[in-house]
Amino acid sequence: MITVLIENLELKTIIGMLEFERTTTQKIKIDAKFQAHEFIDYALVCEIIENEFNKNKFVKVEDALNYFCDFFKKKYPTINYFFMKIIKKEILQNVDVGAMIEEIF
């Protein structure tokens, strides 16, 4: 089985709970992995991720992770493995922080 990889997808988006995070875009980095018994177009996946971030303006990184896990499982029903990591690049001065999700279906 092939694993589709997306590494170092960088976006500027609204994400976060703090007041300034609700009005100012910040840089995030996304890594993702998919395994499925069907073709997954990684260019389309990148486009979807960017569009959904722009549309949803997530409050928490965890909300975004759960959203994308559900979204891609519905879009690609044969997915049997999903991984996504979202890193906030600019929220703290000397460190990158974030969260990840890993699901086996």
Give me the pLDDT at residue 85, please.
99
User: The pTM is what?
Assistant: 0.94
Task: Reply yes or no on domain 3-104 having CATH 3.40.50.300.
Answer: no
Distance from C-alpha of 13 to C-alpha of 55, rounded to nearest angstrom: 10
Q: What was the pLDDT predicted at 17?
A: 94
Give the span between the Cα atoms of 8 and 10, in whole angstroms: 6
pLDDT of residue 100: 99
> Where exactly are the structural domains of the chain?
3-104
Comparing C-alpha atoms, which of 92, 80, 102 is closest to residue 27?
92
Closest CA to 31 of 14, 51, 9, 49: 9
Residue 63 tokens read as: 């909300």
What pLDDT is attached to residue 58?
Answer: 97
Rounded Cα distance, 3 and 15, in Å? 28
**Successive 10-residue mean pLDDT values, the chain, 105 residues:** 94 95 96 95 97 97 98 96 97 96 97
pLDDT at 52: 98
